Amino acid sequence: MITFVVCVEPGAHRLEYKAATLFHTMRRNMGAMAGAAIWAYAPRPGRIVAPWCREMLEHFEVRLIEEPLNAAHAEYALANKPLALAHAEETAATEFVTFLDTDILIWREPSAFQLGEGEDIALVADSTKTTASSGPDDPFEEYWMRLYELTGATARPFVTTTLTGERVRGTWNSGVIALRRDAHIAVQWRDAMLRMLDDDFSPPAASYLRENNLLSAVATSRFDRMRELSFAYNYPVQNWDRMTVKGIAPEEAVLWHYQQFLDKAYHRFAGRIDGAGSLRERLTLTERFATDLRHNYRRRIGIDETWLQSIRRRARIGPRVRKLLGRSKPTDARYNG
């Protein structure tokens, strides 16, 4: 069977609240996998999971692990991913381990997470280019060659990004990672991540996505044992209209990876959870909220931001200023005309 790995530590991203809906949909909708082991990690020291969340974890039979796995690099929250997944890979007893970002809702049994013969890792191609390389003339090409060197990757595969249709060197999203446990891929990712954090060669634009890009390089080093999953397994519901045209409607997706695009709705949900007086009330709120998102996602999509932040985003002030200064980010390209 499978051990699922999720991060739940408190903070600005409201992972505890997002974990509540994730665990609800996992137990409700995963079919034959609904009873699978779920391990929830809070790997940075001093980030204590709230009592109400602990009650929810107990109800959903989720094991909470609060070991300080990310003490040395606590300033980089995304290091939590390889550190937590490697811990599970080393200590679980199941055949497979699967990491899920907390900002996910599961609607169908994810049967592809049970990898077939000859498969050790399964990922979904990233949705946009961001800091990937399109080939030898790309400004990120040297960076990717160093990633390949760090991980021992000799293959040079290309993929097509799921949203923008760009051809880039293999880059896959780290929000959903299915692994065969005895292949030790998470340990390889963790060890490479720690080496990079001690001697970081990432260009500034790729600093935030270090863990994602490094995972892609690790996957490339195992490319002959890799399976690329349909974007139904990492569905950007915020782009439902464009993804429907590409062949999969939101209602057909295995899971939604909504990132920050339901944060306005989660802001309201967090207030209701905080005001609830019992576990039963919180469970009821969680079920109602998950059901509401399922049916009303189009109306619920929205970034949690102030009025001023909204004006700046709509006016594209950041990309315009960076272009004038000659300091554009890769993600600004869609705004430059």
Provide the domain count of the chain. 2
CA terminus-to-terminus distance, the chain? 50
**Percent residues over pLDDT 90 in the chain:** 89
In a shared domain, residues 265 and 320:
no
Whole domain around residue 154: which residue ranges?
2-231+257-304
Claim to verify: residue 209 and residue 159 sit in the same structural domain: yes
Are 184 and 291 in the same domain?
yes
State residue 46's pLDDT score. 94
| Same domain assignment for residues 319 and 190 | no
Average pLDDT, the chain: 93
Q: Residue 323: its pLDDT value, please?
A: 59
Q: Which residue has the higher pLDDT, 307 or 8?
A: 8
pLDDT band, very low/low/confident/very high, at 101 (cuts 50, 70, 90): very high
Q: Tens of pLDDT along 136-149?
A: 999 999 999 999 99
- Look at residue 307 and tell me whether its pLDDT is greater than 60: no
CB 285 within 8 A of CB 276: yes
Place of tokens 């929810």: 56
The answer on pLDDT for 337 being more than 60 is no
Residue 40, burial from CB neighbour count under 10 angstroms (0-12, 13-18, 19+)? buried
303 — pLDDT class (breaks 50, 70, 90): confident
Q: CB 19: neighbour CB atoms within 10 A?
A: 26
Q: What is the pTM of this model?
A: 0.91
Write the pLDDT tens digit of every residue in 168-203.
999 999 999 999 999 999 999 999 999 999 999 999
b/e code 149-163 from CB counts within 10 Å (16+ = b): ebbebeeeeebebbb
∠ CA 54-30-288, rounded to 5°: 60
Closest CA to 99 of 123, 66, 130: 123
H-helix or E-strand containing 18? helix 15-29
CATH number of the domain bearing residue 114 = 3.90.550.10
